[in-house]
Structure 1
Amino acid sequence: MPEVDPFKALGLAPTFDLDAARVERAYLARVASIHPDLGLDAESEGDEAAGLNEARRTLLDPESRVIAFLSLLGYTDEDKSLPDGFLIEIMEVRMEFEQALVDEDAQQIAHWRSWAADRRRESIETISALFREHAVSGDRALLARIKQSLNAWRYIERMIEQGGAPSR
């Protein structure tokens, strides 16, 4: 997690469920509050602006936001586990996707890109639901499930990045 709490830096309540427009509004409001015409010294202004930029980057990226929110909740486990059966599934999918790329099979490439986009969306929805459930129950085991879901999601993101699939 960044050194600064990105939620606090932008004056936002800590939650995974943040839309980009809300983050941008909070960012712009905070940046306006450190404008040089307000009398801050250049060094302080630069440091604060850098912190706000980092907070904005963190909260706009759902993957980074998960990490920041988990850390804020006190979950810093370096667990690399994956959901049951996921590793075999992703290895098979990657092989088929890579073969489609080698073969320049536009139909199969489109299929696997769509599959990856669907899995990304499902990962975000799952993590969001688990965070909401945790907010109600306080069950710390849910944080481990969130981390496990994040680990799987990262495999999907790497597939998208390496396969030239459309970005978020």
Structure 2
Amino acid sequence: MDSYFSLLNLAPTFALDADALERAWREASARVHPDRFATASAAEKRVAMQWASRINQAYEVLRKPVKRAAYLCELAGHSVDAENNTRMDTAFLMKQMQWREELEEAAGDATALQALKTTIDAEEQALERCLTELLDSKKDYATASEKVRQLMFITKIQQEIQSLIA
């Protein structure tokens, strides 16, 4: 089975150009669009729908950094296994605890919530730069798997903050 990258004719890298991904998805989607198969047999229509579904699934995984990083690790045989493996370095665990405390204290205070969001956004950007190096340059998938779990936590707390700001 083709990887999501090969399905969209993209290099398997974490540092993926968002515009190139969008173009690749649109081109692949156009090739299997239902309008192209309007006069096709039922079996051909079904296959086209399966391809369209797979192309959309590839796009959804590759467009989100956390999902793309986890996918690259899995392709290399290093499952992130976030449900069963919650091991993280002590420094990051301390940051988690600090952020959780700040989140509790900031509830209802839009300025404090925005400040926390800015801090966590900066941490996310640093983590994504680290993942670019680990995945694209060093090919250190074991370390990258741990960083992906950290990015998963960051994504979750960002969603919580956003729901409180909105």
TM interval, shorter chain, is: 0.7 to 0.9
Deviation at 1:106, TM superposition (A): 2.7
Alpha-carbon displacement from aligned partner over 1:106-156 (angstroms, at most 9, x marks no partner):
321121010111111111111011113324xxxxxx211111111111111
* Cα distance in structure 2, aligned partners of 1:165 and 1:125: 26
- Which residue type is aligned with residue 109 of structure 1? L
Give the aligned partner of residue 138 of structure 1: none
Residue 83 of structure 1 contacts residue 152 of structure 1 at CA under 8 Å; is this kept in 2? Answer: no
1:12 counterpart residue number: 10
The answer for the alignment partner of 1:53 in structure 2 is: 56
SS in 1 for 2:54: helix
Bigger RCO (CA 8 Å, 6+ sep): 2
Runs of 4+ in 1 over 4 A off after TM superposition: none
Report how many aligned residue pairs link the two structures.
156
Deviations, residues 31-76 of structure 1 (Å, cap 9, x unaligned) = 1222443675210111100000000101101111011111112222
CA gap of 1:73–1:29, structure 2 versus 1, over 3 A, is same
Q: TM-score with structure 2 length normalisation? A: 0.84
Residue 85 (str. 1) matches residue 91 (str. 2): yes
Structure 1: unaligned runs, 5 residues or longer: 136-141
In 1, distance between residues paired with 2:141 and 2:90?
17
Distance in 2, matches of 1:7 and 1:165, equals 32
Unaligned runs of at least 5 residues, structure 2: none
2:160 matched residue in structure 1: 162
Q: Match of 2:36?
A: 37
* TM-score of the superposed pair, with normalisation by structure 1: 0.83
Report if the CA contact (8 A) 1:6-1:68 is conserved: no
